[in-house]
Chain A
């Protein structure tokens, strides 16, 4: 069961690296977070520690419900539909993600736990999403994917600390709210979410 959940996370991460429509990215992120929550539940059932159940509830509430809601609210205001002008377009983003994952595995050596490896892959995918796109919403989803990868790292550790996950979850909640406000303001100032125009702020 855990294996199937891990593979769903991985497939959604790689599939998301090429999406263009913001609504699909939002739903993909929600699906990924839901799968992580279910993974916490399964691990909690397996090991019996109550940390996992708390993490499951937290992830469910914040990442599956609240953050996608914030994102879709800020999208309504900005009339953002899809990205047509990307730095890494279409098939190239998939290929670059695959090659980056392959190369990083050579350099990282081998760790035995699947969760650790999948966490690495999520971080790399999130980073490529952030670097290869121009719209702020996609970059934010990239950041959130990286945070998902960090959560996976945590789950793969043997000893779980509640404080760490509380901290991370709250940080992300606040981050999402700030990003929502910022997107609204960027849109109001520049009439677009294309971060190229942010360089106008130079002078």
Chain B
């Protein structure tokens, strides 16, 4: 029975992702003071894109054909490996490194897609994306090291249970959470590292790489980047703020846990929208400063607790 709940929780994550993206757009619109599109608009966008045909560049190769499928499959597989609102100690999957490297498939194939169409925009997006993710790797390593040293396990389900069992907040947890939040922003192309709304040269990193995709390829790429963001948010919530997570296979606790998860996601989405509306995008060579601040924070979090 509990395996059914595991599958249901990941399906809920996948199905609700476009709704969360619509909520971000609505929040940003209400902060900025204009009337936004309906909350379900991302679903309509995806459906519209699936109906359109594709335009392929004559410079492109098999990468453009297989990359969208592979990216979406990698993100969906990663979504099936994280705890969303039910955690009973999954014995099969959940190694934190495997999840992170699965999301690295997306990075690899998206950057190759950017180079595939022989346009200068694509190359620029790929080069910037690889630069930022090279500098973000140490922060990722330090966060995983911190989580391991807290809980002596690399399995995200075990980490969730152990962090939920610790009494109250801890200084080091808050600081490591702040470092991971900066990493979340950098890896998923949100402000202030990349502007997800425009296709202008000054603000493109992720958008530049998928500039030449269209039709159902574009739908798959957009979906995979949304799912990647939500998987990161889920990991963030369940590793640092696991209050309300339940392991009981009964109806009421699972519903309560689901509501707690939705509330936490809404808070994080509100913070993301607020940050996006109040800051300008950093220029490219200030992003290493931001990431080294995150590096310093994670390092201090480890040192404060374990030395």
A interface residues (Cβ-Cβ under 8 A, vs B): 3-4, 6-7, 10-11, 14-15, 17-18, 90-92, 94-95, 97-99, 101-102, 105-106, 110, 114, 117-118, 121
Q: How long is the Cα–Cα vector from A166 to B299 in the complex, in angstroms? A: 35
- 8 Å CB contact of B307 from A94, A95, A106: A106
Flag whether B261 is at the interface (Cβ < 8 A): no
Question: Can you name 28 A-B pairs with beta carbons within 8 Å?
Answer: A3-B168, A3-B169, A3-B171, A10-B171, A14-B297, A18-B292, A18-B293, A90-B289, A94-B292, A94-B293, A94-B295, A94-B296, A95-B292, A95-B295, A97-B296, A98-B292, A98-B296, A98-B297, A98-B299, A98-B300, A101-B300, A101-B303, A102-B300, A105-B307, A114-B171, A118-B171, A121-B300, A121-B304
B interface residues (Cβ-Cβ under 8 A, vs A): 168-171, 174-175, 178, 286, 288-289, 291-293, 295-297, 299-300, 303-304, 307
Interface residues of A, dominant DSSP: helix
B293 touches A15 (CB 8 A): yes
Q: How long is the Cα–Cα vector from A90 to B283 in the complex, in angstroms? A: 13
Query: Contacts of B292 on A, CB cut-off 8 Å?
Result: 18, 90-92, 94-95, 98
Q: How long is the Cα–Cα vector from A105 to B288 in the complex, in angstroms? A: 25
Interface residues of B, dominant DSSP: helix
Query: Contacts of B288 on A, CB cut-off 8 Å?
Result: 90-91
Query: Contacts of A17 on B, CB cut-off 8 Å?
Result: 296
Q: How long is the Cα–Cα vector from A6 to B300 in the complex, in angstroms? A: 13
- 5 more contacts with CB within 8 A, not counting A18-B292, A95-B292, A121-B300, are A7-B169, A11-B178, A97-B296, A101-B296, A101-B299
- 8 Å CB contact of B169 from A4, A97, A98: A4
Query: Which of B168, B175, B288, B293 has the largest number of chain A CB atoms within 10 A?
Result: B293
A97 (CB) vs chain B CBs: closest residue: B296
**Shortest CB–CB separation between residue B148 and chain A, in angstroms?**
17
